[in-house]
Structure 1
Amino acid sequence: MTVDSFLAKAAPLRANPLLALMSPDYTTLKAEADAATRQLKADGVARRTAGKPPIACIPEGQSVGIMDMLAGLDALSPTDKKLPLKDGYARVIAKKYPC
């Protein structure tokens, strides 16, 4: 799923958060966000193992909440919004937690 498609599916849920948990799109979006997070963690391990610098330097005990994630994705350029969710999310966390 691209950033654009993720945001498009999230828009109605953000507009009516009380009904969001009952929407079938909620499950889809949660799974996509969880998958992107897992992939980024695996990429981070692979980068450390290969001796490459990390994409972001998230302080111990910190995380990016869903609202921060959505705000960061919203702020991406139109070109970046065409990226897969994982890559767009990587740009969000790199901006929020630069090394």
Structure 2
Amino acid sequence: MYIENNDTPGSPFEWYELGVSLRRNEQFGEAINAFRKAEEEAVRIMEENSGLRYLDDRLDMEELRSLRDRASASIELILRIRGFVNKDLMNP
């Protein structure tokens, strides 16, 4: 669980990048939490601004959809990695 402070990511993009960094360091549980937060924040922003195509000069709704999809795929990947069992080594 993340505690809000000056180092806490503020945007879904920052949460996603944190997840990538944690995944690289094999901190899979924390990475899943960061990817979920990225997903949640992206969805929240899209829902709050559902009638708009562009939120401002920096943020496009398509970018948010893409980020949401990448975060979801990253969570699925980590769950597959953590659940992987090499049956050949288990059953000689």
With normalisation by structure 2, the TM-score equals 0.32
Q: Which has the higher contact order (CA 8 A, sep 6+)?
A: 1
Larger Rg: 1 or 2?
A: 2
